[in-house]
Amino acid sequence: ENTLNQLLTEMDGFATNTGVIILAATNRADILDIALLRAGRFDRQIHVELPDLEERKAIFKVHMEPLKINKTVNIDFLAKQTPGFSGADIANVCNESALIGARKNKKVIDKQDFMDAIDRIIGGLEKRNKIISQHEKKVIAYHEAGHASVSWLLEYANPLVKVTIVPRGKSLGAAWYLPEERQITTFDQMFDEMTAALGGRASEEINFGKVSTGALNDLEKVTKQAFAMVTYFGLNEVIGNISYYDSTGQQEYSFHKPYSEKTAETIDKEISKMVEKAYQRAKSLLLKNKSKLVILATLLLEKEVIFSEDLEKIFGKRPYDDKGSIEPVKTEKKLTKKTKKSSPKTNDQPDKKTVEKESKSQVPEKEQTDTLF
């Protein structure tokens, strides 16, 4: 309290100071004392978002300038690989890539060094000495192959960059995607993302006749997304064009929901129906392409890391790159603000962030990876 009063006195006291501009920065403007935000004080607020694609390119250029870089390194490619990265994250990528190159006694930093640096920052250190049974490794491979296959076959799912079953951090497998940075999103786009997220669990059921606990992160993700679609974005025909989103943030402190018990039951049913529909859709796609799924999983077991080029050899060119013929979900399209995730999630440490309608598309989630177990 004394600090606040002194700050206000210095800013707006009896002393007359001219030509002085006071700047301050915070990442929690919502908890600032209202007295600080009154007219004549900090009344002009500038929101600084995480850098977009073009801004990331410019930041990469700055940090790569003092480094000896191989000519094969493409800044545009690196910028696309790092959605949601801050300037500090990008600086860290450049530093890590230099260290990785130095450990390998290289005279210049190449593309793979940058990719390894991004993987390390996103997923943590490789743990090749982690003891995993052959059966578990097979389950992980089919799980990740399921994600990759469904994503490849859906129009709005993020295109795959690579899939790995090499343990990193707390995850035993991961798939990296190249997200499209959207500002608004339709039902079909969100539903395709849900379907792709459930592709791993669907693959386990199809190939082993049972599912494992490895899909915790996927289930958490689709449940939150379905909840947001039903209660926030008005993307459910039964609930209708109603949003229970509270932009003031006061609802979390309330003991009462902004809807009745009957509506709460309806919301639960609609969320369950939506998730189940996405799951059955994922199963249907994988059953139609089961032979290709098996080839992909076998290749993943053999190589441990596969890239989009490997999927193209197995599945052919991605259908929707040329607007193929897979029928989209038949439902009314509505535009919404897009929400997103941030750091990689694992079963041991699920992401606790709630869906925020006003957040920038695909940004809170540093990377587009699905982690297993």
Tell me the per-residue pLDDT of 106-154, one tens digit each, with 9 for 90 and over. Answer: 999 999 899 889 888 887 777 766 677 889 999 999 999 999 999 999 9
Q: Does domain 134-371 have CATH number 1.10.760.10?
A: no
For residues 334 and 31, which has the higher predicted lDDT (pLDDT)?
31
Q: How much is the pLDDT for 253?
A: 61
Tokens of 31: 């908890």
Whether residue 238 is predicted with pLDDT greater than 50 in this model: the reply is: yes
**What does DSSP say about strands 184-185 and 336-337: parallel, antiparallel, or unpaired?**
antiparallel
pLDDT tens, 278-301?
Answer: 999 999 999 999 999 999 999 999
Residue tagged active-site, from 65, 96, 144, 332: 144
Question: Shortest CA distance to 357 belongs to which of 266, 243, 267?
Answer: 243
19: left (phi over 0), alpha (psi -120 to 50) or beta: left
Give the alpha-carbon dihedral of 371, 163, 294, 309, to 10 degrees: 160
Domain borders along the chain are: 2-37, 53-123, 134-371
pLDDT-derived band at 13, boundaries 50, 70, 90? low
Whether residue 209 is predicted with pLDDT greater than 50 in this model: the reply is: yes
Q: How far apart are the first and last CA of the chain?
A: 46
Q: How much is the pLDDT for 66?
A: 93
Whether residue 214 is predicted with pLDDT greater than 80 in this model: the reply is: yes
pLDDT tens, 68-80?
Answer: 999 889 999 899 8
State the average pLDDT over residues 226-241: 94
State the average pLDDT over residues 196-213: 94
CA 92 to chain centre: 19
Whether residue 354 is predicted with pLDDT greater than 60 in this model: the reply is: no
* Single pTM value for the model: 0.70
Q: How much is the pLDDT for 231?
A: 94
Mark whether 55 is an active-site residue.
Answer: no
**What does DSSP say about strands 305-307 and 369-371: parallel, antiparallel, or unpaired?**
unpaired
Whether residue 373 is predicted with pLDDT greater than 60 in this model: the reply is: no
Q: Give CA angle at 168 (164, 174), nearest 5°.
A: 35
Tokens of 211: 């599912």
pLDDT-derived band at 38, boundaries 50, 70, 90? confident
CA distances from 312 to 119, 146, 354 (A): 22, 15, 35
Percent of the chain clearing pLDDT 90 (strictly above): 45
**Phi, psi dihedral angles at 139 (to 5 degrees):** -60, -45
Whether residue 369 is predicted with pLDDT greater than 60 in this model: the reply is: no
pLDDT tens, 305-317?
Answer: 888 888 899 999 8
Q: Give CA angle at 361 (30, 152), nearest 5°.
A: 155
Whole-number Å distance between alpha carbons of 249 and 279 = 32
Q: How much is the pLDDT for 75?
A: 93
pLDDT-derived band at 346, boundaries 50, 70, 90? very low
Q: What is the 3-state secondary structure (H, E, C) of the chain?
A: CHHHHHHHHHHHCCCCCCCCCCCCCCCCHHHCCHHHHCCCCCCCCCCCCCCCHHHHHHHHHHHHCCCCECCCCCHHHHHHCCCCCCHHHHHHHHHHHHHHHHHCCCCCECHHHHHHHHHHHHHCCECCCCCCCHHHHHHHHHHHHHHHHHHHHCCCCCCEEEEECCCECCECCEEEECCCCCCEECHHHHHHHHHHHCHHHHHHHHHHCCCCHHHHHHHHHHHHHHHHHHHCCCCCCCCCCCCCCCCCCCHHHCCCCCCCHHHHHHHHHHHHHHHHHHHHHHHHHHHHCHHHHHHHHHHHHHHCEEEHHHHHHHHCCCHHHHCCCCCCCCCCCCCEECCCCECCCCCCCCCCCCCCCCCCCCCCCECCEEECC
Q: How much is the pLDDT for 250?
A: 65
Mean pLDDT of all residues belonging to the chain: 81
pLDDT-derived band at 325, boundaries 50, 70, 90? very low
Contact 220, 332 (CB under 8 A): no
State the average pLDDT over residues 355-362: 38
Residue type at 279?
Y
Whether residue 319 is predicted with pLDDT greater than 60 in this model: the reply is: yes
State the average pLDDT over residues 246-254: 68
For residue 174, what are the β-bridge partners?
A: 164, 371
Residue type at 73?
V
Q: How much is the pLDDT for 337?
A: 41
Fold of 53-123: Helicase, Ruva Protein; domain 3 (1.10.8)
Whether residue 350 is predicted with pLDDT greater than 70 in this model: the reply is: no
CA distances from 212 to 68, 139, 218, 365 (A): 46, 9, 12, 25
Q: How much is the pLDDT for 372?
A: 45
Whether residue 322 is predicted with pLDDT greater than 90 in this model: the reply is: no
